[in-house]
Chain A
Amino acid sequence: MRYFDHMATNPLRPEVLDAMMPYLKEEFGNPMSLYALGQKSKKALEEARGQVAALIGAKPQEIIFTASGAEANNMAVRGLAMASKAKGSHIIVSKMEHHSVLNPARMLEKEGFAVTFLPVDKYGMVDPGALEKAITKETVLISVVHASPEVGTIEPVEEIGRIAKKHGVLFHTDAVASAGYLPVDVEALGVSALSLSAHEFYGPKGAGALYLKGGTRIVPLIYGGIQESGRRAGTENIPAIVGMGKAAELAKAGLAERAGKLARLRDRLVAGVLEGIGHVYYTGHPEHRLPGHASFCVEFIEGEAMLLMLAAKGIYAASGSACSSKALKASPVLLSMGISSQLAQGSIVFSLGTDNAEDDIEYAIREFPAVVKRLREISPYAGGWGGVKETGTCIPKN
């Protein structure tokens, strides 16, 4: 197996599993309990909080554990907007955001908030100038992703942070795809809130976190208990949280070296693909992008078919094509970059991780062109698009 879908999820690092094990077995105490068994869990919880805080340059008390990155995003968008309602009712989110940011924003819209969905350029980059212009007296929150898991583009978050500060607006960034791959420092980025997901940096599924700058008010999503300082009720998922803490510690160590290696592998893959295949577009920003991220649109063929043929060769990748999505809609991120729905059908994403070695890349460079060639032999567009019209989404006829 050659796994190139690290933006989807990652395996646990063995050290992470080892750290979790006692809390799946004998150390089952509830951190709320006053006796030693409970207090041991409490101690583990706080240690993990410290480890996660250290990864992003935050204070431990600024970390709220959640069950996922999606929950952290929901909590940030909804919770911060709701807590600032008295101040104003306008929020700004970019068109590069994950559904877990976009959908809460749409919910807020239904509930009376005005929402600006900020356009991006052809690289998927937000224009800070345009963002500043979108700010009104009513604006209470900006949410822009740190780096896109779909096209790898790194957004100008520091600059947006400065703008947000200047205008006294809260700023949230979704760092789910970037943590562990890029340096993430909440002070440098100038954010009031930031989302993390453990399994994106080789931690367990079922653990995420929201960084919330000290003194920032938020309305919880889940009510009912005093866990996480009353901001998120529910008995803490101690094994997963301990795993997240350990994974954060490991992600911080040797980050630059790891990112360097991934970028080298990625560059080799990109060069090989562009060389071996004609009519292919490298999507996202060519330089300002996640180190292990290579995304393309291949003309005249469809992404799901590519994924299946690649999988048959043991290569696992992802696609933002309409046919490969449950909703049969092309990735809104690709469309918002001005990529036509036709070309978006040929979306393919390789996201590399620490388990990938050079021979995986060489294998992919050998096999991928053969897959494209085969599918083009089947495609009626083998000789070009031939003036087909470009429109909307893949909607079944009935």
Chain B
Amino acid sequence: MYSEKLMDHFTNPRNVGDIPDADGVGEEGNPTCGDVMKISIKVQDGRIVDAKFRTFGCGAAIGVSSMVTEMVKGKTLEEALSITKEAVAEALDGLPPQKMHCSNLGADALKKAIEDYRNRQGAK
């Protein structure tokens, strides 16, 4: 059902946890069933230098979170914002159609984390 790559990210997820002094935190969920993905980022000179996640959801959701946090490291905020759910799914060598929304969760949580960072910056 899942690609080897996804299974790898599911069984050995990268970047699990919270960043205590995060610069931005984004949480996205399926309000209806409680699946939740939380991504925190650390930003330096306009680049994401660290990203961590916590996820309540299926194997695909965990694999997606792991992959998204890997993909954004070292990217500028603009580059990170252009990461689509398709790009995440592709990086995982594909997702079953009914699991595409789990990929969405990842891309959206990341966007929210960046928004949160920008809001905090604006407030300063």
| One of A41-49, A208-216, A220-228, A389-397 at the interface | A389-397
Q: Report the separation of the CA atoms of residues A340 and B58 in the bound assembly, to the nearest whole angstrom.
A: 17
Tell me the count of chain B residues lying within 8 A, CB to CB, of chain A: 27
Residue from B16, B32, B34, B57 in contact with A305 in the complex, judged by beta carbons closer than 8 Å: B57
User: Are A312 and B101 within 8 A (Cβ)?
Assistant: no
User: Are A302 and B57 within 8 A (Cβ)?
Assistant: yes
User: Are B58 and A324 within 8 A (Cβ)?
Assistant: yes
Q: Report the separation of the CA atoms of residues A397 and B104 in the bound assembly, to the nearest whole angstrom.
A: 8
Q: Report the separation of the CA atoms of residues A211 and B26 in the bound assembly, to the nearest whole angstrom.
A: 57
Tell me, yes or no, whether A331 is within 8 Å of chain B by CB. no
User: Are B31 and A341 within 8 A (Cβ)?
Assistant: no
Work out how many contacts link A and B, with CB atoms closer than 8 A. Answer: 89
Chain B nearest CB: distance from A246 CB in Å? 34
Q: Report the separation of the CA atoms of residues A394 and B36 in the bound assembly, to the nearest whole angstrom.
A: 11
User: Are B11 and A393 within 8 A (Cβ)?
Assistant: no
User: Are A308 and B32 within 8 A (Cβ)?
Assistant: no
Residue from A324, A378, A396 in contact with B101 in the complex, judged by beta carbons closer than 8 Å: A396
User: Are B30 and A394 within 8 A (Cβ)?
Assistant: yes
Tell me, yes or no, whether A398 is within 8 Å of chain B by CB. yes
User: Are B11 and A309 within 8 A (Cβ)?
Assistant: yes
- Chain A residue at minimum C-beta to C-beta distance from B56: A379
Chain B nearest CB: distance from A161 CB in Å? 38
User: Are A396 and B34 within 8 A (Cβ)?
Assistant: no
Chain B nearest CB: distance from A271 CB in Å? 27
With A302-B35, A391-B32, A398-B104 as contacts: A328 and B62 at CB distance below 8 Å: no
User: Are B56 and A394 within 8 A (Cβ)?
Assistant: no
- Chain A residue at minimum C-beta to C-beta distance from B66: A378
With A301-B56, A305-B59 as contacts: A395 and B16 at CB distance below 8 Å: no
Q: Report the separation of the CA atoms of residues A183 and B38 in the bound assembly, to the nearest whole angstrom.
A: 50
Q: Report the separation of the CA atoms of residues A175 and B30 in the bound assembly, to the nearest whole angstrom.
A: 37
User: Are B54 and A323 within 8 A (Cβ)?
Assistant: no
Point out the residues of chain A lying under 8 angstroms from B101, CB to CB: 328, 396-398
Tell me, yes or no, whether A330 is within 8 Å of chain B by CB. yes
Residue from A301, A380, A396 in contact with B30 in the complex, judged by beta carbons closer than 8 Å: A396
With A378-B62, A380-B36, A380-B38 as contacts: A396 and B100 at CB distance below 8 Å: yes
Please give the residue numbers on chain B whose beta carbons come within 8 Å of chain A beta carbons, in ascending order.
2, 7, 10-11, 13, 16, 27, 30-36, 38, 54-59, 61-62, 98, 100-101, 104
Could you jot down 24 A-B contacts, CB within 8 Å?
A: A302-B56, A302-B57, A302-B58, A305-B61, A308-B7, A323-B33, A323-B57, A326-B98, A328-B101, A330-B33, A341-B32, A341-B33, A378-B54, A378-B55, A379-B55, A382-B54, A390-B34, A391-B31, A391-B32, A393-B32, A394-B33, A395-B33, A396-B101, A398-B104
A308-B2, A308-B59, A388-B36 given; name 11 further pairs at CB < 8 Å: A302-B56, A305-B61, A309-B11, A323-B57, A323-B58, A326-B98, A378-B13, A378-B16, A392-B33, A394-B30, A397-B104
